[in-house]
Amino acid sequence: MSRRVLVTGGSIAGAASAFWLARVGFAVTVLESAPAFRPGGQNIDVRATGREALRRMGLEGAVRARNTGEVGTRFVDGDGTVVSEFGVDTAEGSEGPTAELEILRGALAQVVMDACEDSVAWRYGDRVTAVTQRDGGGVEVSYETGDDETYDLLVVAEGVGSRTRELVFGGEAQERTLGMYSAYGTIPRTPGDDDFWNVFHAPGSRQAALRPDDEGTIRANLNFLADSPVLDGLDDEQTRAALRERFADAGWQVPRILDGFDAADDLYVDWLRQVRVPTWHRGSVVLTGDAAWCVTPIGGGGASLAIAGAYVLAAYLSAADGTPAGDEAAFTAYDAWMRPLVEDAQDLPRGVPRLAAPKTALGVGALRLATKVAASKPVKTVAQKVTGGPQSTRQLPDLVEA
Ligand SMILES: Cc1cc2nc3c(=O)[nH]c(=O)nc-3n(C[C@H](O)[C@H](O)[C@H](O)COP(=O)(O)OP(=O)(O)OC[C@H]3O[C@@H](n4cnc5c(N)ncnc54)[C@H](O)[C@@H]3O)c2cc1C
């Protein structure tokens, strides 16, 4: 009989975990709290170790087929004049903002989900309300809808604000806020749009960006620094109004973005925070993806780490003997393999993200100049840090398929 595993969270980390855990012989159920698959999200990239894990899934081609079509990155000034330009980086472990494997977040989650074995069960619209570790291994979980179930393992892949993580790990997870909000939404494409990632900086620690997608629309993004989570607790209408107030005088194409956000049905706002948990497992429960180690888009590589983490976890479990002690050893090995990658991604250069969101017009001018000399060492180091993706010189562990 296959051992049963419950994966909570049906996004990139959850789907990738389901993919591999089914491959190594587990009977997998994925529980997603949203009522249906969440397709939204912006352009993300898969690089370095994540790309190698994707290759092992046989999905590099499928991801390439959903490429957003982005041809590079441009920093622009208020009237749209190009200040500096970076092409697509084709080298692995590359340094430029636009990677070779660029895909929409929802598209990546869908590609991975579609590749999962038919045996994987997907359950929507419910969440775990209690977890009890059983003597002798396994967990009993209670659901919001009232059911109880027993599983051999529980993999928590619920993203940065994971509730099940809090149930099992109590206050052990620490959040390190970066003091920055990101607001994302899809807006109509206009004839004047090109296929670059166009990035604009405005005084007042504000950024705006437009990126192409493969769906005929434009993915827009507004970022700003804040001392506290000022948008938390606001509903969508209040969020739109707050963004409008903050960005009213920013210039460039920001009025168009604000109008677009008014109509967007996928507005997604994120108070950027890293998650740090001293250990990612307890008994038969293990954390993965953003729930374990959110690096934020500033650290870069959240999707790559999610893909790599799923593989590494399944690889060590595939070599384990199925006893609680074997699971524990596998979780420990997974933690040891992934942690250096995560810590590296979370270790931001001094001044990031403040460096990328200057307060004054003078600072914005200096930043634009800096993008022009991006080949210079300090800028290159920062650029590589925030865009390079999780890179390990170690081989991924071997995985034994069932
Ligand atoms: C709708 C959406 C849009 C996003 N857009 C972007 C973007 O534009 N740019 C970017 O860089 N990153 C974005 N992200 C974050 C990005 O997907 C992650 O940083 C990264 O890919 C790691 O994925 P993850 O699966 O660990 O976490 P996430 O992608 O955050 O997925 C977590 C999943 O768990 C589900 N969930 C949450 N709580 C529970 C619960 N209690 N029980 C069951 N399921 C639960 C969520 O609904 C979600 O589907 C987005 C995430 C989501 C959910």
- 131-165: per-residue pLDDT in tens? 999 999 999 999 999 999 999 999 999 999 999 99
Q: How many Å lie between the centroid of ligand 1 and the Cα of residue 376?
A: 35
Instruction: Report yes or no on 188 lying in a domain.
Output: no
Q: Give the residue carrying structure tokens 């493969």.
A: 214
pLDDT for the residue numbered 359: 92
- What own/partner pairs with CB < 8 Å and gap ≥ 24 does 354-362 have? 354/179, 354/205, 354/225, 355/382, 356/201, 356/207, 357/180, 357/201, 357/205, 357/206, 357/207, 357/223, 357/224, 357/225, 358/201, 358/203, 358/205, 359/203, 359/204, 359/205, 360/203, 361/203
Q: How many Å lie between the centroid of ligand 1 and the Cα of residue 47?
A: 18
Question: Atom 13, ligand 1: which residue's CA is nearest?
Answer: 41
Q: How many Å lie between the centroid of ligand 1 and the Cα of residue 326?
A: 30
Question: Atom 50, ligand 1: which residue's CA is nearest?
Answer: 41
Instruction: Report yes or no on 100 lying in a domain.
Output: no
Instruction: Report yes or no on 240 lying in a domain.
Output: no
Q: Give bridge partners of residue 271 from the DSSP assignment.
A: 181
pLDDT for 92 beyond 70: no
Q: Could you read off the pLDDT of 263-299 as tens digits, one per residue? A: 999 999 999 999 999 999 999 999 999 999 999 988 7
Sorted by sequence, the CB contacts under 8 Å of residue 364 that are 6+ apart come out as 201, 202, 203, 358
Ligand 1 surroundings by CB, under 6 angstroms: 8-14, 31-34, 38, 40-42, 44, 105, 127, 157-159, 162-164, 184, 268, 289-290, 297, 302-303, 306
Instruction: Report yes or no on 394 lying in a domain.
Output: no
pLDDT for the residue numbered 4: 98
| Cβ atoms within 10 Å of 383's Cβ, excluding its own | 20
| Cβ atoms within 10 Å of 215's Cβ, excluding its own | 14
Q: Is-contact 65 4, C-beta < 8 A? A: no
pLDDT for 382 beyond 60: no
Mean pLDDT for the stretch of residues 77-102: 78
376 residue type, one letter: S
Cα(369)–Cα(372) distance, rounded to whole angstroms?
A: 5
Question: Atom 52, ligand 1: which residue's CA is nearest?
Answer: 41
Domain span at 119 = 4-39+52-67+105-175+273-346
pLDDT for the residue numbered 374: 64
Q: How many Å lie between the centroid of ligand 1 and the Cα of residue 159?
A: 5
H-only helix segments in 185-323: 236-247, 254-263, 290-293, 296-299, 302-318
Instruction: Report yes or no on 292 lying in a domain.
Output: yes
Instruction: Report yes or no on 296 lying in a domain.
Output: yes
Ligand 1 atom at minimal distance to the Cα of residue 12: 25
Cα(283)–Cα(132) distance, rounded to whole angstroms?
A: 10
Q: Is 94 helix (H, G, I), strand (E, B) or coil?
A: coil
CATH number, domain containing residue 112: 3.50.50.60
Mean pLDDT for the stretch of residues 108-127: 98
In this predicted model, which residue has the larger pLDDT, 212 or 95? 212
In this predicted model, which residue has the larger pLDDT, 257 or 366? 257
Burial category of 155 from C-beta neighbours within 10 Å (exposed 0-12, middle 13-18, buried 19 and up) = buried
Q: How many Å lie between the centroid of ligand 1 and the Cα of residue 35?
A: 14
Instruction: Report yes or no on 74 lying in a domain.
Output: no
Q: Could you read off the pLDDT of 63-86 as tens digits, one per residue? A: 999 999 999 999 999 999 999 988
Q: How many Å lie between the centroid of ligand 1 and the Cα of residue 177?
A: 17
Q: Could you read off the pLDDT of 220-241 as tens digits, one per residue? A: 999 999 999 999 999 999 999 9
Sorted by sequence, the CB contacts under 8 Å of residue 69 that are 6+ apart come out as 195, 212, 213, 214
Sorted by sequence, the CB contacts under 8 Å of residue 174 that are 6+ apart come out as 275, 276, 277
Choose which residue among 6, 7, 8, 11 to substitute to test ligand 1 binding: the one with the highest number of ligand atoms within 8 A of its C-beta: 11
pLDDT for 48 beyond 90: no
Q: What is the mean pLDDT of the chain?
A: 92
Instruction: Report yes or no on 180 lying in a domain.
Output: no
Count of domains observed in the chain: 1
Choose which residue among 12, 31, 45, 105 to substitute to test ligand 1 binding: the one with the highest number of ligand atoms within 8 A of its C-beta: 105
pLDDT for the residue numbered 375: 42
Question: Atom 29, ligand 1: which residue's CA is nearest?
Answer: 11
Q: Give the residue carrying structure tokens 């969101």.
A: 357
Q: Is-contact 276 343, C-beta < 8 A? A: no
pLDDT for 93 beyond 50: no
Q: Give the residue carrying structure tokens 């990612």.
A: 280
Secondary structure letter of residue 354 according to DSSP? G
